Structure 1
Amino acid sequence: MSASGSLTLILIMSIAVLAPLLAYGMSRWVSVPLVIFEILLGLLVGPDVLGWAAPGPVIDVLGQLGLAMLMFLAGYEIQFDRIGGATLRRSGGAWLIALALGLTAGTLLAHGGGFDKGVYVGTALTSTALGTVLPVLRDAGDLRGRFGSVVMAMGAIGEFGPVIAMALLLSGRAPGRSAALLVAFGVLTAAAVVWALRPKATWLSRVIAKTLDSSAQFAVRLVMLLLVAMLGLAQALGLDVLLGAFAAGLITRLVLQGAAPESSGLVLSKVEAMGFGFLVPLFFVLTGIQFDLKALLGGGRVLLLLPVFLLLFLVVRGLPIWWLAPRDLGRRDRAALVLLGSTALPLVVAITTLGVQDGMVEPGEAAALVGAGMVSVLVFPLLALRLRSGGGAGAGSGARAAGREGRARVSEGESW
């Protein structure tokens, strides 16, 4: 690593340490998502402000690993036993409507680029930052209960759907070939799920438990093997590696719960420590460093696009969620669900980066879209938590939420 790369990495890790302190200090007055401090401080030390840090090959690779870990942890958080069929159908329907709206809006805003350019913008508008939203809800105590289950369902489709759309629409291959490769990935993933659900030998549980506090760390190494194997499979099939990371998270939960249910929580805490302690903050800080502030502040159409994109997040992603949200949720909960479902950033960064590399999205437009995602991460979860707490369903109301959960399970089969 070069001297500039070493300095950049030191600055990134310094920001990773400083950001929680700032978030903790601000929590006395307002709860600000940690990711906001990471991105803004990265922007501060980046080339467009202080110029202390600059991306490089090694830093870029670490950033990609951070994004993969973020998607992996988002996939791990999905608990299908808590979601239910009706909620998944509603979530899928809401996302398909959002995709149609997004592609239409993206094409209209393509500025001469037509549908090919509109695909990038439209797909980004349908995403949900589940990996960013879940820690906020977990910290606020809103992840348990019926509301948390619906958020996970809507967020899971909002993460998984755009990745599938990217594989089909942004691969540069014929749609038929892309679909065939996607089906092949699905079949192999399903085979891995079947394997994960099979009863495991008792020796595996003993090895996991015995090495949890030793240098062997067998379970953590097994988790990392599953992650890189799914990343490699996705890459070998020419699909986006984010799809592999998300699938790896789903499979890992099944493997750990089947092989060592009593140790799965501790294993996850070790993986989260590695992810949230190093890789994930590195990705978000690097996002701030790479943010094209000059292009955004250049004025004209680019600057106007930022509030337009922010509004489109609510229209494209939020309106279908409002229409198809389970009817047993109150108005405040549905409004909070709209805000959380419209929160977008990681996939926006990934899709716009791909669009710029392919020459289909201008740097200024990418900056406006990422900037809108940053604002959504800062504003939407805070408003959602305010709505929840104002309705008596936020943190501190866990008993009432747990009581509603049992009744909600009975109403899971409600008509659409």
Structure 2
Amino acid sequence: MEFILYLILILFFTKVFGDLFVRLGQPAVLGKLIVGILLGPAVLGWIEQGSFIDEVSEIGVLLLMFIAGLETDLEQLRRNIKSAFAVAIGGIVLPFIGGYGMGLAFGLSQNFSLFLGVVLSATSVSISVQVLKDMDKLNSREGTTILGAAVIDDVIVVILLAIMMSVIGTGEEVSIGLLIGKKALFFIAVFVVGWFVVPKVMKWMAPLRVSEAVISAALVICFSFAYFAEWLQMAGIIGAFAAGIAVAQTEFKHSVEEKIEPIAYSLFVPVFFVSIGLNVSFAGMGNQWGLVIAMTVMACLTKLLGGWIGARTTGFNSRSSLAIGAGMISRGEVALIIASTGLQAGLVLPEYFTSIVIVVILTTLVTPPLLKMFLKDVKPSY
């Protein structure tokens, strides 16, 4: 019954801390992330990472990105695709150079320094999505540019990781052509299925004489897209986001949106936010705090600057460009997965793994207040 206790603690404290941080003028999501650190092994040790937390949090982040897809204006996303590409490239090049240079500066090997660059090039917008939703900016030009850039970023970073694993990793051959082909297949399949199959599935299941058939159909589509993405070595969150966009083009958009949010935000999403903080542990840190602080500052500044340059050169004003850069700072669960993959492939020295995880968490904690600060005075642009 231990998992019941975990749920009690997570649900109670995320709501209390979320409300507290809103009263302090900060995004509620920041309080929820801090709950994970306080209740986890880093401080109180009341909750431990395990299969239950991992699986429920995975559902949470998939639902969060599915909702983001439901609420995304597809036409706005198309109009801002050029900006999204520019932001993604800027948000990869600068962090990659910064991570590589930082590793060399601290006397780390060239291979490890290159991998550090790849980890810090990653972006996870699941945290930014929550802040954008809370501020009613998810469908703004800034919001859709951040979402589009994150999808492009993920594809490029996965390809970079595959190249590294092929060249300096376990020695296993990785076909880069095959990998790129899988990414292309994913987007083609998602477009075809989303346009032709999803509406038919929704219409077929809606009249079924069972409770909540439409919501069940939407969840089947969400998880199917996520599974397909993972099968093709893409992040599941991209599949869930694509599923949300597909369902949003049907007549069932509003009913799905209305009923899926209570399911997500009452249980699964709080567990996801807390799970991020549970990764923090100070065991085995030794004398690496200088590296952690330097990497965190560099990681935040390079994403912020890279995003700013990409947005500024494609027509955004300076304030909006800073907001977009801030929205790209969080490395979140995407970087944690890449770091774990690198550890298994021998690309990460085990004694530095904890430091990398802490840097990833710190970038995730910094994102909500920075994004809110820069977005606060940005005039709506839809």
Partner of 1:271: 260
The 5-angstrom pairing of residues 79-94 of structure 1 reads 79-84=73-78, 87-94=80-87
Q: Measure, in 2, the Cα distance between the counterparts of 1:203 and 1:236.
A: 22
Distance 1:39 1:294, change over 3 A: farther
Q: CA deviation at 1:323?
A: 1.7
Distance 1:33 1:128, change over 3 A: farther
The 5-angstrom pairing of residues 95-110 of structure 1 reads 95-108=88-101, 109=103
The answer to whether the 8 A contact 2:123-2:329 is kept is yes
Q: TM-score, normalised by structure 1?
A: 0.76
Gaps of 5+ in 1: 1-5, 394-399, 406-416
User: Does 2:336 align with 1:369?
Assistant: no
Q: CA deviation at 1:362?
A: 4.2
Q: CA deviation at 1:166?
A: 4.0
Q: Measure, in 2, the Cα distance between the counterparts of 1:380 and 1:58.
A: 27
**Which amino acid is the alignment partner of residue 93 of structure 1?**
A
State the Cα RMSD in Å: 3.3
Equivalent residue for 1:306, pick from 292, 299, 318: 292
Q: TM-score, normalised by structure 2?
A: 0.82
The answer to whether the 8 A contact 2:56-2:268 is kept is yes
The answer to whether the 8 A contact 1:75-1:156 is kept is no
Deviations 1:243-263 (A, max 9, x none): x44124314422x244x32x2
Partner of 1:196: 194
Gaps of 5+ in 2: none
Q: Measure, in 1, the Cα distance between the counterparts of 2:130 and 2:62.
A: 16
Equivalent residue for 2:18, pick from 19, 23, 28: 23
Q: Measure, in 2, the Cα distance between the counterparts of 1:50 and 1:321.
A: 37
Q: CA deviation at 1:23?
A: 1.7
Distance 1:141 1:45, change over 3 A: closer
Equivalent residue for 1:351, pick from 338, 343, 347: 338
Q: Measure, in 1, the Cα distance between the counterparts of 2:115 and 2:21.
A: 36
The 5-angstrom pairing of residues 214-229 of structure 1 reads 215-229=210-224
Aligned length: 374
User: Does 2:174 align with 1:187?
Assistant: no
The 5-angstrom pairing of residues 12-411 of structure 1 reads 12-34=7-29, 36-74=30-68, 78-84=72-78, 87-108=80-101, 109=103, 111-115=107-111, 117-166=112-161, 169-170=164-165, 173-175=172-174, 177-198=175-196, 204-205=202-203, 207-208=205-206, 210=207, 215-237=210-232, 239-240=233-234, 242=235, 244-254=236-246, 256-258=247-249, 260-261=250-251, 263-296=252-285, 298=286, 300=287, 302-326=288-312, 328-362=315-349, 365-389=352-376, 391=377, 393=378, 401=380, 404-405=381-382
Distance 1:198 1:82, change over 3 A: same
The answer to whether the 8 A contact 1:98-1:316 is kept is yes
The answer to whether the 8 A contact 1:75-1:246 is kept is no
